[in-house]
DNA sequence: CTTGACTCCCAAAACGTTTTGGATGATTTT
DNA sequence: AAAATCATCCAAAACGTTTTGGGAGTCAAG
């Protein structure tokens, strides 16, 4: 309704003075500033966002690309993270737009639209691949971005990631200490960095223990994927006595398979992510999670700092993984 | 990098002609249009979003407010819906920004910021209350919005909602037909329309069956809330033999309480929402869900149509509820 | 030869803000 | 008394696009 021009006119002042009064510049008298402030409050004046964005050459927006596998939109804990991120970005005047990949368009095309159209000031990339074309594109444009998950890019970039290698390494060693000798790995597609790192951690531990690494399956990182992998494992003559799962969703699918085939928890299982729902499955799911507190806040902070021009090397967070011990990992190795 | 001015200069044309060529106006020759199109493609030209927004007086943005209860950000199936909505909005050139309520600000303040700053063209409201101040504000401003869930507002507004009354009415009658006589209701806060409507459905059915309506508890619509309500019910001497839960999350909490107290499914349970995880709980959760297909697409369509000025009365969708029968509702009434 | 219609193009205005580079008096310093 | 400083204000430019309201030039009809 009210814009700067009308406000200035009603006050008998210039647009410049009103603008600078509201922005708290020192070259407007205290009396005038107060008069302007009161009039602005009364009129409910808010600067037009589009106009300010054009003038300041900032979109005041950050986009997060959502990988849209049919019917399944990334890990379920995403929304909590995004919400936290959006809240902290808002504190700096930025809003978060969610950008699922439209039908018939690639994630790369979408990045191009957002970057070249100056629709956003930075991008947040999730589900990074080891070789990620989005990362390469943004780097070639010199456009600010932060990833959730590392890549194998030669050039450094800001990221937040959990140390999946160490986590899965430790989990596997722990199963070994508990007496397990046939420890399977149910992983996700290896082009994803997180899936690869976790598998590498499992594999390294197995080698250190002198165990074979043939109990290893890859599936879609969903309940269904875990379910199918578990069915395949249960059909083998050399069944595992423990299963390390790349994600909680896969682990939940594994638990379901165990129930259907063996009627209950016949094999130790551990997942990763600490989905809230894990506490409510039967048996309650043992899992791992990234340390480091409020993830959304961290992403927001990294985004702001990369927009501000801080070098990538100072914007990389690798968080340790901790165990969340519940009931699904305690089975003795002879149970099968 | 490239803007209209540079593009025009390199082509020896005016800004106007280049703009109109790219927009497909008929007053530019086919030859020129093609020449312009090729140059634009080659330069990777995309119109500056802020500039277009200012000129066209449209923000090309829609905001969805996320209620941020501590640690729990609305139903878990929100993200799927939002993703679908964002994807369809993108088809019309609109992006979806997620707007969690910042610390120390009310949802109303946030609406005000978005509306008066012309940051968005419409708003999507979730978790509506029976008397919702956000709705009242937007109505007073004549600002386009769509709600997920009805309100008791005197003025019509666009919404999408499930017929929770009928769903809970039918579910309660079904339990009665199966022989249950002590049917409890575990509901959410009654200021929310959905929670109230579902409770009303249960209550109406109980009255029709001549049953008392004292087995009725309200809690936060979370696993924890359901868990606590169930503990209270299980401690009573006149335990229920069936429980109707306002949400799947509450139902999952109820199942956990049953496991802990009785060691398994001792009471029939049904939830609402059809969370994907429901298929993986033990026992698999019987539930209800809204019919009507792709919810996100429907929201996008309603948003676009309300922006276009269609009257509210033609933009209201009330969808039937259908049962999703799994294993948690099949217990005979004498089991307790 | 004039008129009107048609095709193709363009200069300038407009959107609402922020910022630049002074301008105007009043006050202090030299 | 002149010069410098200070406090307060403002006109105009700029951001990059879309849209308005024509302006040339060409061609056919009168």
Percent of residues, chain A, with pLDDT higher than 90: 84
Q: Which pLDDT score is estimated for A73?
A: 45
C-alpha distances (whole Å) from A303 to each of A50, A282, B79 are 22, 39, 22
Whether B301 is covered by a domain: the verdict is: yes
- Count up the domains in chain B and report the number: 3
Q: Which residue has the higher pLDDT, A55 or B104?
A: A55
Q: Which pLDDT score is estimated for B76?
A: 59
Mean pLDDT, rounded, of chain B:
93
| CA angle centred on A192, ends A189 and A193, rounded to 5° | 130
Chain A 52-81, CB < 7 Å to strand C = 52, 54-56
- Using C1' positions and the CA of B2, the closest nucleotide is D16
Instruction: State whether B54 and A51 contact (CB < 8 Å).
Output: yes
- Using C1' positions and the CA of B55, the closest nucleotide is C15
A189 CB neighbours strand C below 7 A: no
Can you give the distance from the CA of residue A150 to the C1' of nucleotide D4 in angstroms?
Answer: 61
* pLDDT tops 70 at residue B154: yes
Kindly state the average pLDDT of the residues B322-336. Answer: 82
Question: For residue A177, what are its two tokens?
Answer: 């200490």
Cβ of residue A78 closer than 8 Å to a chain B Cβ = yes
Task: Kindly calculate the radius of gyration of chain B based on its CA atoms and give it in whole angstroms.
Answer: 26
Tell me how close the Cα of B209 comes to any Cα of chain A, in angstroms: 34
Same domain? For B158 and B303 the reply is yes
A244: region left, alpha or beta (phi > 0 left; psi from -120 to 50 alpha): beta
Instruction: State whether A252 and B277 contact (CB < 8 Å).
Output: yes
Same domain? For A100 and A170 the reply is no
Q: Which residue has the higher pLDDT, A117 or A69?
A: A117
What is the DSSP pairing of strand B316-319 with strand B159-162?
Answer: parallel
Give chain A positions within 8 Å (CB) of B276.
Answer: 72, 223
Task: Judge contact between B47 and A117, C-beta under 8 A.
Answer: yes
Can you give the distance from the CA of residue B49 to the C1' of nucleotide D7 in angstroms?
Answer: 40
Q: Which pLDDT score is estimated for B282?
A: 78
Task: Judge contact between A254 and A227, C-beta under 8 A.
Answer: yes
Question: For residue B46, what are its two tokens?
Answer: 């995309």
* E strand intervals along A101-215: 122-125, 145-148, 159-162, 183-187
Least confident of A194-203, B225-234, B270-279: B270-279
Same domain? For B149 and B298 the reply is yes
CATH number, domain containing residue A143: 3.40.50.2300
CATH number, domain containing residue A29: 1.10.260.40
Instruction: State whether A100 and B86 contact (CB < 8 Å).
Output: yes
Closest to A13 in 3D by CA, of A49, A42, A37: A37
CA dist., res. A17 & res. A5, Å (int)? 11
Q: How many A/B residue pairs have CB atoms within 8 Å?
A: 159
Cβ of residue B77 closer than 8 Å to a chain A Cβ = no
- Protein-covered nucleotides of chain D (CB closer than 7 Å) are 7-12, 14-22
Domain hosting residue B123, numbered range: 61-162+293-319
Task: Judge contact between A110 and A136, C-beta under 8 A.
Answer: no
Burial class (CB within 10 angstroms; exposed 0-12, middle 13-18, buried 19+) of B227: buried
Same domain? For A110 and A218 the reply is no
Kindly state the average pLDDT of the residues B296-311. Answer: 97
pLDDT tens column, A217-247: 999 998 899 999 999 999 999 999 999 999 9
Same domain? For A18 and A71 the reply is no
A 176-235 residues inside an 8 A Cβ radius of B: 223
pLDDT tens column, A57-92: 999 999 999 876 644 445 557 888 899 999 999 999
Q: Which pLDDT score is estimated for A70?
A: 44
Mutate to test the interface with A, among B58, B77, B83, B256 (most CBs of A within 10 A): B83
Instruction: State whether B90 and A97 contact (CB < 8 Å).
Output: no
Query: Searching chain A, which residue's CA lies closest to the CA of residue B82?
Result: A98
Question: For residue B211, what are its two tokens?
Answer: 């049953």
Query: Which of the 8 DSSP states describes residue B159?
Result: E
Same domain? For B219 and B268 the reply is yes
Whether A232 is covered by a domain: the verdict is: yes
Same domain? For B287 and B173 the reply is yes
Same domain? For B175 and B240 the reply is yes
Whether B330 is covered by a domain: the verdict is: no
Cβ of residue A66 closer than 8 Å to a chain B Cβ = yes
Whether B103 is covered by a domain: the verdict is: yes
CA dist., res. A174 & res. A143, Å (int)? 42
Same domain? For B168 and B278 the reply is yes
Closest to B148 in 3D by CA, of B138, B162, B137: B162
Instruction: State whether B97 and A102 contact (CB < 8 Å).
Output: no
Burial class (CB within 10 angstroms; exposed 0-12, middle 13-18, buried 19+) of A64: buried
- Using C1' positions and the CA of A4, the closest nucleotide is C16
pLDDT tens column, A10-51: 999 999 999 999 999 999 999 999 999 999 999 999 999 999
Can you give the distance from the CA of residue B15 to the C1' of nucleotide D20 in angstroms?
Answer: 14
CA dist., res. A284 & res. A279, Å (int)? 5
B 104-133 residues inside an 8 A Cβ radius of A: 112-113, 116-119
Same domain? For B105 and B218 the reply is no
Question: For residue B149, what are its two tokens?
Answer: 């869930």
């Amino acid at each position: 309704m009210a814009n700067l021009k009308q406000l200035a006119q009603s006050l008998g002042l210039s647009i410049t003075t009103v603008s600078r009064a509201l922005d708290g510049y020192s070259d407007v008298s205290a009396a005038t500033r107060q008069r302007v402030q009161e009039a602005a409050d009364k009129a409910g004046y808010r600067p037009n966002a589009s106009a300010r964005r054009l003038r300041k050459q900032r979109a005041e927006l950050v986009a997060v690309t959502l990988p849209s596998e049919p019917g399944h939109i990334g890990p379920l804990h995403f929304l909590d993270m995004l919400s936290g991120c959006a809240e902290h970005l808002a504190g700096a005047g930025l809003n978060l737009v969610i950008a699922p990949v439209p039908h018939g368009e690639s994630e790369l095309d979408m990045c191009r639209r957002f970057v070249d159209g100056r629709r956003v000031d930075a991008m947040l990339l999730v589900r990074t691949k080891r070789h990620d074309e989005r990362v390469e594109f943004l780097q070639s444009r010199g456009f600010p971005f932060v990833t959730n998950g590392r890549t194998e890019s030669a050039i450094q970039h800001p990221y937040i990631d959990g140390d999946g290698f160490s986590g899965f390494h430790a989990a596997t060693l722990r199963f070994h200490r508990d007496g397990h000798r046939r420890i399977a790995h149910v992983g996700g597609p290896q082009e994803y960095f997180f899936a690869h790192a976790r598998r590498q951690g499992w594999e390294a531990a197995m080698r250190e223990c002198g165990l074979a690494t043939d109990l290893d399956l890859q599936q879609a990182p969903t309940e269904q994927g875990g379910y199918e992998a578990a069915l395949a494992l249960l059909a083998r003559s050399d069944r595992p006595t423990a299963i390390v799962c790349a994600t909680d969703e896969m682990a939940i699918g594994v638990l379901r398979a165990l129930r259907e085939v063996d009627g209950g928890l016949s094999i130790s299982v551990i997942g990763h992510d600490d989905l809230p729902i894990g506490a409510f499955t039967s048996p309650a799911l043992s899992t791992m999670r990234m340390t480091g507190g409020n993830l959304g806040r961290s992403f927001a902070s990294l985004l702001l700092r990369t927009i501000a021009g801080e070098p990538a090397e100072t914007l990389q967070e690798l968080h340790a993984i901790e165990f969340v011990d519940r009931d699904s990992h305690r089975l003795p190795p002879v149970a099968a």
